Structure 1
Amino acid sequence: MKSSLGPLCVVAGSLLSSTVFAHAAVAGATPPFAGATFEADFTVSHGCNGADTYKMRVQIPEGVTGVRPVDSVFGKAEVEKDASGNVTAVTWTRPASEVRAEDTHFFHLGLRMKLPSKPFTTVFFPTTQTCRMLGGTETVVEWTSTAGGEHNHDGDAGTAPSENPAPSLYLLPSRLPGWNQYTVDEHVHDLTVFKDALIVWSGSQAYSFNSVTQALIEKEPGVTALTQIHPGTVIWVKY
């Protein structure tokens, strides 16, 4: 960690950008910290070519535990478990009588879970959306592509690229206000995962999501821009 940061930390600020949601997405009121309990909000922005959404099935990946779904105005939740009692999927189904003649609503589906203790990795939740016409005809859309993820370096985590990405969470390390030291076990090539940090240091390299601070980093003598982090690297991050 650089001991004398000069003007860099004076002007460093955390800039938050809005998340662009896919048609089936997951987010939460708090950041998804690795190893922590997380209240997930799965959102369904529209149905299928004008047909109303009737059922949503979300697969729970290995390593996600303590899953407890929330019944919603969309419908009641049912869980599937493996032989060990671990929840492997959650399905919300609307009463057929409540399916509308056309696709007009946005839906929220919630569950609480404990996330894996694997910071700087992506957790995918492959999701199946079933839509239904009033006559009973059903259409299925698979939001299951795990290619790449939002910040992954490797090109594929299980399937080929697709226009239907699975909802995913990029796990962040827990932190305290001030300086935090981490040993990064994953290859981090997209440093916007530190967009809520003031500054990131690795040896004589530094990064900030704040464009003003980043410009100062690039002008600081003896300091070069940090562009990626390799496994085993020790970093210092100020929040």
Structure 2
Amino acid sequence: MCRTLYRTSAIAIFASTTSYAFAHVGIATSPVYAGKTQEIVLSVPHGCSQTVDGVTTAYDTLRVEVQIPETLTSLRPLDTVFGNATLVKNEAGVITKVIWTKPDAANKGGDTHHYWLPLRAKVNAPTFTKVYLPTVQYCKNNNDEEISTPWTAISDDHDHSSTSTENPAPGFLAYPVRTKGWNKYKAPDHLHDMSIFNDAEIVWKGAAGYSANTNTTALIQADSKYSVLSEIHPDEEFWVKY
């Protein structure tokens, strides 16, 4: 998957900056399953903000451009109350970008609304891998000039020392298909963030277990035969109960 970075042009180089302090653009759907076709919803909780001469003003979102990774296929976007969706394709006819555009007449002026932008696609990513959808949202300031906020940074989960100040790209973890009860999996990579199993009753590997439930964790800790599971190494088999 290609990573494309966007840069926001300064409206007035010496007097104006664009702020990205608002809540993240993200994926509202969870869990998302590998190998399945399902609806994936992009959440846009805020618009763009711009600081001029020390005064920050927030503006309504008018356009959202979302890069589509190769792991999402058979994609169909949904038109919404925000606006209609258009598709951008490469020479091979593969969808590479979805653009939702709001009519200028629907511009609310200020940053007052939260928007949902849904699409339906098949997720062809390997299980327990992250799928990113780099996104840029566009607004217009009071001078009718276009400003933008990029959400395009793709992090390496193993880079714990990263100090990047770029806005993170929306993304989701591709979970394996599950059934109620016990499910047996094999780790394709190092799984060190056990919070990805917070919706499970318990995760078990060998004599170690993990649960987001503090009472269950206390029971594991109270028995000297067992330990709290903190990570799973590549190719290790483990059990998850949902």
TM-score bracket, normalised by the shorter chain, equals: 0.7 to 0.9
Q: Which residue of structure 2 lines up, in the alignment, with residue 40 of structure 1? A: 40
Alignment deviations for residues 170-200 of structure 1 (CA, whole Å, 9 cap, x no partner) = 1211111111111111111011111111111
The equivalent residue for 1:191 is 194
Identical amino acids, percent of aligned pairs: 42
Q: Which amino acid aligns with 1:140?
A: S
Aligned counterpart for 2:158 among listed residues 153, 156, 168: 153
Matched, 1:99 2:107: yes
The separation in 2 between residues aligned to 1:165 and 1:23, in whole angstroms, is 8
Shift of 1:136: 2.0
The residue type paired with residue 35 of structure 1 is G
Tell me how far apart the structure 2 counterparts of residues 23 and 188 of structure 1 sit (CA, whole Å). 24
Partner of 2:218, secondary structure, is helix
Contact 2:208/2:227 (<8 A) preserved: yes
* SS, match of residue 171 in structure 1: strand
Shift of 1:154: 4.2
Query: Gapped runs of 5+ residues in structure 2?
Result: 1-21, 50-57
Taking the aligned partners of 2:108 and 2:228, their CA distance within structure 1 comes to 54
Matches within 5 A, 1:13-162: 22-28=23-29, 31-49=31-49, 50-133=58-141, 135-148=143-156, 152-154=157-159, 161-162=164-165
SS of the aligned residue for 2:155 comes to coil
SS of the equivalent of 2:238 reads: strand
Could you state the TM-score of these two structures normalised by the residue count of structure 2?
0.82
Structure-1 separation of matches of 2:167 and 2:128: 23
- How much does 1:134 deviate? 5.3
Q: State the distance in 1 between where 2:108 and 2:202 align.
A: 49
Q: What letter matches 2:164 in structure 1?
A: P
Query: Partners of 1:43 and 1:99 in 2: how far apart?
Result: 18
Return the offset for 1:147: 1.5
Letter in 2 for 1:105: H
Q: What amino acid does structure 2 have at the position aligned with 1:24?
A: V
Q: How many residues align?
A: 213
**Tell me, which stretches of 5 or more residues in structure 1 are unaligned?**
1-20
Kept after mapping to 1: 8 A contact 2:68/2:97: yes
Distance 1:229 1:130 in 2: 41
Partner of 1:166: 169
